Amino acid sequence: MKSLSKRIAILIVVLVLAVSGAVVGVLGAQALEPKPDVEIMVISDTHVFSDEHVGNLCDDFLTFDAARTGRVQYLTESVFRNSINYIKKQSPDALFITGDLVDTATKFTHQEVANYLKEVEANGIDVFVVPGNHDISSSAPSFENGYRESVDAVNYDEFKEIYYDFGWDGAVKTDDKSISYAADLGDKYRVISIDATRAKADLSLSPDLIEWTKQAIEETIADGRIPIGITHYSMVIHFGEITAMFASEKSYINDVDNFRTAVMEAGLEYVFTGHMHANDIASYTDEEGRTLYDIETSSLAAAPSPIRTVKCFGTEFHFSTTNLPALAEDTLPDYLPADERAAVLADYQTYARRGLEKDMRENLFYGKKLAGYVDMIIGAFDIDTTTTGAKILSNDFCAMVEDILDMPLYGANSVESVCESYGVEFPVVNAATAGEFIFNFVAEWFGGDENLELNSAEDLALRYVVYAALDKVADFDLFGRLNALNPNVKVVDLKPAMQQLFTSQKLDVVKNDLIGNVLNSVPAIKDSAIGGIANAGSQAIITAIATILPSINLYGLDLDGVIDAQAGAIDFGAIFDLAIEDIGIGILTDFSEADNNTILNEQE
């Protein structure tokens, strides 16, 4: 008995020591972690659409929602409420919202958002906002009564009035030509809120806005404070050089080069932006060695609903990101169907990600956009796209694309089984279907996790998914069906070329006379100045192309090797290498600072 009592006593002593050690360790770690000068949380593009205006998911609302690519519009108020509750629990010093607070400038929704933000400030957290392109309008829709109707929207002055307590109330400087302001944050910083939306509507205002912003930054530094910019549009390119050429000017602040030069010369190092719905940090260093960091935050309304945390130590900023983990049941709208409610409560992140995939598929692939592209291809072969046969072909092709996206990666009738039929092994990746796998790249870009590496399992899987899609096109017999509508179109059997494509990543275009037949079957090419080459034969054509390509300056791409003239083939392997290493920079792969967990301007 004494032995048992002694053992119990020893066990208690050990447990007490273990617990004490753990407590001391935690306290020691907290003591070692320095307290930041300020801690800021950042959300953007919240796109709130009030539950009250959804109209019980009426048909008009569903049509409206279908155009909102990537975000679950009927849950935006719930997502916003849950993010606000999360932020209040974290208790930072400040919250930044970098534009598009609401989706359609509805006055009622703006007022609702402002009421939620008052809860944040009531918890001792300073809130700073800036308008985005969705926040100001002359009209706004509501579906409250079961159909679409117009309700009150807000203009710039009304936006400022509604959100006056969130930046303007403590402003040390305002702009009389915009609703820009500058307000102090803590003892060391000053927030420069740049209203770039008005200058988007009136380009003549850009020079004045640049000058006001420059002065605000210079005055901040003169006052011994560190300026932090917030605005809706980016000041730094968030893509690689090639993809940036295709980005719309709407993505950037007006007169971006002059704007960036002015703020950098004035001394700005950090600007927080939104609009592009992707978590991304990019930097620009000028000839003088000055660097501007543009911290873009993705849309809270779309997967993965990121919330940034920034700990500021002087000019050294520490970044981390948390994706909104869940939605509380009491925040969900009553109109949400039971099965949808259960799915949201089970796993909000999975639900939001599936919503992103669904929206992207409907809007970009087999909706009107895809049908339009298919009609262009059919029309290029001198076929009247209004005929019944052409419409059937177009519909069948779109349906085939849908089947490709639904194609399982593994098991029967899968990408894996197609690969096996050609003697190659499909790698293991984290997705169930081709569509899910492809849209994972979009979700990763939105979340700032784009990291596709050359020769990785994901890289190889992406190639085989594309090759399996081409195999489906070969089975579809596109050229045979085009020939049935226009006998002048030469029939090309792509199926024999598939074996080489899967095993060597090269698509034969000579043995099947693909390239020669296409050139001869498309009047716009056949009748053009280069039409004469069409009769030279596929081998002569591809040899000529291979000779010319290296001398072509296409956005600086090295095109040498894209065509293998000796094999008479297009080298898809080389094309994918270019896509990952050059073309896809900023979308498939990151090219600048880490987007989520990083330290900028680290001091020695």
By C-alpha distance, which of 243, 296, 368, 313 is closest to 604?
A: 313
pLDDT band at 524; cut points 50, 70, 90: confident
Q: How large is the average pLDDT for residues 147-166?
A: 97
Only one residue has tokens 């978590």, namely 279
Torsion sign (Cα): 339, 340, 345, 347: positive
By C-alpha distance, which of 207, 271, 201 is closest to 236?
A: 271
The ranges assigned to domains in the chain are: 35-350, 366-583
Q: How large is the average pLDDT for residues 374-393?
A: 95
CATH number of 35-350: 3.60.21.10
For the record, the structure tokens of 493 come out as 């059997």
pLDDT band at 1; cut points 50, 70, 90: very low
Q: What is the pLDDT of residue 386?
A: 96
What number of other Cβ atoms are within 10 A of residue 134's Cβ?
21
Q: How large is the average pLDDT for residues 77-92?
A: 98
Q: What is the pLDDT of residue 20?
A: 40
Contact 181, 169 (CB under 8 A): no
Under 8 Å CB-to-CB from 43, ≥6 apart: which residues?
A: 83, 87, 95, 96, 97, 98, 297, 300, 306, 307, 308
Question: Cα angle vertex 215, ends 211, 220, to 5°?
Answer: 150
Question: Cα angle vertex 454, ends 448, 458, to 5°?
Answer: 65
Task: Give CA separation, 181 vs 51, 117, 156, 166, 230, in Å.
Answer: 31, 18, 13, 11, 10
Q: Is the pLDDT of residue 274 over 70?
A: yes
pLDDT (tens digit per residue) in 464-506: 999 999 999 999 999 999 999 999 998 999 999 999 999 999 9
Q: What is the pLDDT of residue 364?
A: 66
Q: What is the pLDDT of residue 452?
A: 87
Instruction: Give the separation between CA 230 and CA 213, rounded to whole angstroms.
Output: 11
pLDDT (tens digit per residue) in 338-350: 999 999 999 999 9
Q: How large is the average pLDDT for residues 243-270?
A: 85
For the record, the structure tokens of 602 come out as 């680290």
Dmax (CA) for the chain in angstroms is 105
Q: How large is the average pLDDT for residues 564-586?
A: 88
Share of the chain above pLDDT 90, in %: 68
List the single range of 8-22, 123-137, 533-547 with lowest mean pLDDT. 8-22
Contact 55, 310 (CB under 8 A): no
User: Is 148 buried (19+), middle (13-18) or exposed (0-12) by CB count in 10 A?
Assistant: middle
254: left (phi over 0), alpha (psi -120 to 50) or beta: beta
Q: How large is the average pLDDT for residues 248-272?
A: 91
Query: What is the reported pTM?
Result: 0.86
Q: Is the pLDDT of residue 313 over 80?
A: yes
User: Is 66 buried (19+), middle (13-18) or exposed (0-12) by CB count in 10 A?
Assistant: middle
pLDDT (tens digit per residue) in 168-188: 999 999 999 999 999 999 999
Q: Is the pLDDT of residue 575 over 80?
A: yes
Contact 167, 160 (CB under 8 A): no
